[in-house]
Structure 1
Amino acid sequence: MNARAEPFIADADAPSATALELRVLDGEQRGAHAPVAWHSFEIGGLHAGACSEVQLRDATIASTRVRVTPRGTAPARLEVLAGEVRIGTQQLTAGSATDWRLYTPLRLGATVLALGEADNADWRLPADAPPQGPGNDAGAQPSPNPPSRRPAHGLERGLAFGGAVLAAVAALLLVMTHLLSAPVGAAIDRRAAVAHVLASQPQWRDLHVDAGATGVMVHGELATDAQRDALQQQLAKAGLGEVPVDVVTGERLVDAVADVFRVQGVTARAEYGGAGHVLVHAHEADAGAVDRAAATARRDVVGLRELAVSNEPSAPPPQNTPVADDPGKRVAAIVPGDSAYVVTADGTRYFIGALLPTGHRVKAIEAHRVVLTRDGRQSQLDF
């Protein structure tokens, strides 16, 4: 039996404490088995592809698929999704459903399966055990007068001994098969257990879990880093150890987008809109700078699905740059260079970043021009 990476998880009230396993009683993979969890899973042939968690090497199964929902020691629920199957005397077709009692053979193509507890003695039932049909009563009492056993002759004792030896060999092979197949079943159960944790909280239900060659991993988007941390704690609390949580959070998207705009020289406020969407508010007179910042964010920010930009430029700066009333504070000269500065009429030096008496801040000093900013507006003095 093979297991795919994306099992179907069915709703259930609570997991069963009963450890069940699925066994192949007859067919090409006779003796193969794998543990199953309390959640629903699908069985099909190799042609089922990603549709089935359990895939059987049986060409006669074709497109037949069933869904099984274990319910502890109670009969499991069996739904026929495609094709035809036989359970006892019942011939079931696509769209039908019935209860599947433990240890009762189910035939898909040429393969006969049964579901039951791993250590239960009822597994001694052969693959051609009495069929389960509508007329069979699970609670029927055994015959009050079972046939008496006659003394066994030497040949019969020898056959019995030989049968015991064969049974022991079969048991050994079964143990070896279990050791070989356990990782597959364990992977199915581990992925299902992670999915059960995701379904326990509304903020985690949009996440999805994959089980590949490197193990189980959670993918998707969350609004906050705190939600991601809480998920990791819950997975550890559930006994699943360190499950990689590869999710994008809204907080990180907002910070990344705001950083891009800041580096591009645009002061902006970003907010998360959910589902990978970020809205940016800016008041930038240079619309080209806003467009360049937005294009860079869309290209470089991982996990960003949509970026909306709202830019409302402030009022244009006045044509004439106001100067201080004190004549001594008028700019008299420019001294360019690595440590450029301007000199006012009273001899005071103002370097880049300094605040002039007019309330303007020196943003840049060039050979014949001083660029000033005030209240988000930019102006310049030409010499």
Structure 2
Amino acid sequence: MPHETDEPDSAPPPLGVGMVGYAFMGQAHSQGWRTVGRAFRLPLDPVMAAVCGRDPQAVRAAADRLGWAAAETEWRALINRDDVQLVDVCTPGDSHAEIAVEALAAGKHVLCEKPLANSVGEAEAMVAAAEAAKERGQLAMVGFNYRRVPAAAFARQLVAEGRLGEIRHVRAHYLQDWLVDPQAPMAWRLRKETAGSGALGDLGAHAVDLAQYLAGSPLSWVSGQLETFVTERPLPGGDGGTGTVTVDDTALFHGRTAAGALASFEVSRVAAGRKNALTIELNGTLGSLRFDLERLNELEFHDNTLAEREAGFRRILVTEADHPYLEGWWPPGHGLGYEHTFTHQAADLIRAIAGRTEPAPTFADGLQVQRVLAAVEESAAKNGVHTPVVPLG
């Protein structure tokens, strides 16, 4: 949540940011770093010091296009720069642990994209590094940006205020269609060694984190199925070769939260017609709410305490100045978009660093999601048997 701050008497001190990776997520994070200081009054001034990528010409072009002052071709060189105090990790999952752990050891704050890692073991190592770094004053956060959609943050407020009563049902769907075509080429997201998992980790991580965040309770066990519909895809470049897909196209799982609610999840990258359809509905004893990422300025809310003649879902347009994050933006009714979540993410992290308070979601939160994903995979390998999610200890 943003915090009101007084107009500073002088310019806030700088916070040098270095980012590793400049593809889709790197572009989105760059948008956040470029705009956060213009939208919100902050106790630190984020400075886009350097971006890192392996190709010298490509990373220099990316730096110029995205607004970074310098370019590096080795991530260790970026970490060791004196003008970098925060390292933003936007690489494929197979490198998250190594980069984040070394950055924390070097005395840097860290923001790491989701899912936190490619395995529970890697995520546990990252949590251990983050806990040690916290003792030295460095902070770490995992980038579940959908928590920062104002409508989702407002939904969490309603649940925390007790407006839904006891949560009984949690259902989440995250559906995309970019792999419907069997001729869609191979990419790193389709290889287990780089991505960790397919739709399960790519989309399921978001669905699990947001569902648990809104419900206020983690999953305690799951039962799941995984499916890969297209097992061979053409290699990029059009040379006629093919590569083997080693991750799932779709995951379907259900379970129960620690508080007792029943939960169901469906994630897919082959759902024709669905572009970025993340929907979450909570049903409680006093009411229900539903969030749809493709209508991200709206929240559907049903107050079950009203008389039946007045009951039903109503639309809340989450654009008022006292809704979460809206104090930095436009008049009511002027909606925000996907890119604003990364600005809000940057603002929350900067405020946490300045206030020396632990930002959320933490690496421990990311580890908990990783354990849910691992339990789904284990369950699927055992034909859907109920599999406990190992609690954080």
Structure number with higher strand proportion: 1
Bigger fraction of residues in helix = 2
Question: With CA pairs under 8 Å and 6+ residues apart, which has the higher RCO, 1 or 2?
Answer: 2
- For normalisation by structure 2, the TM-score amounts to 0.22
Under a length normalisation based on structure 1, what TM-score does the superposition of the two structures give?
Answer: 0.22
Bigger Rg over Cα: 1
